[in-house]
Structure 1
């Protein structure tokens, strides 16, 4: 449900308020990153979020879970000898916005033989609104090993360290990316010249031996290159749920529907809004939470039973 008079979709993706297409339709007073750019040059049109030149495609937005799914990046390094390599590193930078990479919905995936993949990020600043503090940094990673392509797991096998590995990430990161250690050279470059690392949604990646074959062999898998989903948590980041009416007024309380309530964020300071039990809709709009059909039918059934 969008702001009245505003488009509720960009292409095939619904854009619920507080997000919106353009400043007039988005709650930019809560955060300018709620402003969605609709790329009409694409067919169908594609919603994008972020600063100009660094925008990522939005896959979907949910009010109930306070999540936005976006296309991510694959980091890779390819070797043609023990010393010669090319690489590309992708990173989500969400410092100063309402967004945090979800620790429960994403993980680091590393693909390759005899390689170490890392993820690192900066924790958010005080109150979750400032730029990240470079002195407060987080890093983790995992190592994969396989003596040959035939010794890897079968297609669809779990990423348990043979051909690929996976590890969770932590909460409240204002920036996060996937990379490889500098000056790292793998002994398997002759049969597996390229290694890959990515932050992606849990359960999304499925291992294939073909991903290890040739230079940028993973490019041949159109499902990988077309979409690497990353789930971000969004919230109103100006503090926890207001405790008093005065605090609500002072902070421009976002839960404006009379049938809504406030929920503290589990990923950095902030809160989201939710409709009360038995109601559904958009809690960020006046009268946005309406009694659900199932609740109305339940009431009608109870009334009928009482009068029988």
Structure 2
């Protein structure tokens, strides 16, 4: 028997040696260059024709000292490392540089990046950073042209030194922000927010870049130094996937890339897939025979077999055999090799353990039932806690009291909200914004509502929530969205509004979604109704309300083109005796009042400024933020034309053909007043509403007797 074990041991050693030779398989395809300098280039990446999966994974190796590897579809980025296990590429990419010209002008600059669909910038591993003084850097999605992420960097010291090794960006000479999920095509842009043009002599250039979170604290910048793009290339992380189909689809089509002894894993966050070697194998899963068996028996010092057991390597696994006179499996995780008598004692112990395990299972079952009951009680307690913290008891008392007979707010339960929105189904999403997501819901009585679920809540201002709900629920204005109720059993209170069916003003101005273009009469009507609603909020309500986020996306239209002001997520109430609020800057870029941006003090004139931008949109049909890097923003464009006495160039073709020239000119001059940089020189909303109302009244002209007779005859025929 000992001889037999010896022969088996010899065979195992020879088999292990052969397997060791097999595992020395290169990571690249046969006859292909596997390295560029000290950078390993594994398949599906490759250098040269026939060495990569497709053009998206082509790598250029530049034969200069030091060797540099460039990935073609990553905007010429220099590769630092390619990981097959994590499906990422570490690379260096040059920063985007923005400089004043000698005349002190600050033209907006941008850099467009269009990645192959199989690559994206990792939103978990990177941050967007801007270094400079008095700048705002941001990212625009090249497809939707939506503003997705950005930050502002200001300077009090004319020559600050930004030391990221000591602290993170704090908006003084430097700012940073997180990235949106899976961006592949975007424009990186910057512009100056310094109205005094002092930066040409002191700090003419600024930079913006993506950088790996782990490398963020490795740089020090002096803003007073000249900044050149070639001097600043930063490490960042790209994600990659294979193809744009699932594993099942690739298998059905017969073009699955995964080799033998590997598993295919679908990308849970989008299209494409990855390959991983099965347990017990290692190597490159993208090569036909890239995953080789791991020889667990190769090193005697780390052998998994114990107590003299012989280790036998098998494909993807191993086994252990005990010498003569010993029994058991010999595994490290098992009992090891033991004598037969000792084995009997072990069997008895196993029997006792089995009996104990059965009793334990009964206890576990009982404990599980108890746990479920306690969890249900815990959830109910959490709901009651949120309900109480969000002011539910106070609101409930006011609703039921006789003094609040006019209050018609309903308190919805979690169960009612979940049923109305189909558990917040993605198919029910009406829109997403910086403050939250709006879902379409249906109540048991069949009425359609809009449910707003905020992204986050400021605990310092939860106390004001009840007061705002009370005010909004008692507002009865036809041009302000009607608050039907709220749900206070979530950490973030949910608001239930009336559903307005005809989309947003923004969609109609720019004909998005095949909607008809607005006539001049409709535009003037919408402007007047929005102005009237804001005037009511500022001065006619019992407590003044500042909206703080007026924009065309927050103005809804019904089937009769009635304007409805919505989204009060940033709104604040203020005593009529006060003139301003001091708050953290918030709102939508392109509509922000410059005074508010600089001082942090929001006044009623800040809403007036945002309304002026909406008027400019109605006149021009252009977006507040330009979708082209070569064009200036809407406010700058509009004010420049008005300053040049060219008001008739501002309107789009439909307005020019449909509107009265005098009315168009009057609205343009009103918009110019609303957009005045000095807030004190802007009109109040009551005056704006009065001007627009007067224009609408002049627009109505009584029909002639002949036309009136024709209309009466037509009505008579319809009645008959």
Asked whether 1:197 is paired with 2:208, we answer yes
Q: For 1:275-294, list aligned pairs within 5 A.
A: 275-292=277-294
Deviation at 1:83, TM superposition (A): 3.1
Shift of 1:208: 6.0
* CA deviation map 1:172-214 (0-9, x unaligned): 3221342213x65465625433221112222323476643113
Deviation, structure 1 residue 242: 1.6
Distance 1:72 1:294, change over 3 A: farther
* Deviation for aligned residue 1:139: 2.2
Tell me what 2:529 maps to: none
Deviation at 1:268, TM superposition (A): 3.2
Hey, what does 2:35 align to over in structure 1? 9
Deviations 1:103-143 (A, max 9, x none): 11111001122221112234xxxxxxxxxxx3364521011
Provide the residue aligned with 2:47 in structure 1: 21
Tell me how far apart the structure 1 counterparts of residues 52 and 39 of structure 2 sit (CA, whole Å).
Answer: 15
Distance 1:100 1:92 in 2: 11
CA offset digits 1:68-119 (Å, max 9, x no partner): 1222121122236673347864443214x42111111111001122221112
- Secondary structure at 2:251 match in 1: helix
1:36-75 to 2 correspondence within 5 Å?
36-40=59-63, 42-50=64-72, 55-75=76-96
From 132, 137, 142, the equivalent of 2:151 is 142
Q: Which residue of 1 aligns with 2:544?
A: none
Find the counterpart in structure 1 of residue 114 from structure 2. 93
- 1:171 equivalent to 2:197? Answer no
Does the Cα contact within 8 Å between 1:141 and 1:167 map onto a contact in 2?
Answer: yes
Aligned to 2:257: 254
d(CA) in 2 for partners of 1:51 and 1:22? 15
Partner of 1:128: none
Instruction: Call closer, same or farther: CA 1:145–1:120 in 2, change over 3 Å.
Output: same
Indicate the structure with greater strand content: 1
CA radius of gyration, larger in: 2
> CA separation of 1:121/1:25 partners in 2, compared to 1, >3 Å: closer, same or farther?
same
For 1:203 and 1:102, how far apart are their aligned partners in 2?
13
Cα distance in 2 between the residues matched to 1:152 and 1:294 = 55
Q: List gaps (5 residues or longer) in structure 1.
A: 123-133
Which range is displaced more, 155-164 or 188-197? 188-197
Relative to structure 1, the CA distance from residue 82 to residue 205 in structure 2 (aligned partners, 3 Å threshold; closer, same or farther) is farther
| TM-score under structure 2 length normalisation | 0.36
The answer (yes or no) to whether the contact 1:264–1:270 under 8 Å persists in 2 is: yes
Q: Say whether 1:33 aligns with 2:37.
A: no
Query: In structure 2, the residue corresponding to 1:18 is in which secondary structure?
Result: coil
Residues 76 and 288 (structure 1 numbering): CA distance in 2 closer, same or farther, change over 3 Å? same
| Alignment partner, residue 117 of structure 1 | 137
Matches of 2:106 and 2:146 in 1, distance apart? 27
Q: Cα gap change, 1:255/1:186 in structure 2, threshold over 3 Å: closer, same or farther?
A: farther
1:301 — aligned with what? 305
CA distance in 1, matches of 2:178, 2:82: 23
TM-score by length of 1: 0.78
Paired positions, count: 281
Whether the 8 Å contact between 2:108 and 2:189 is mirrored in structure 1 is no
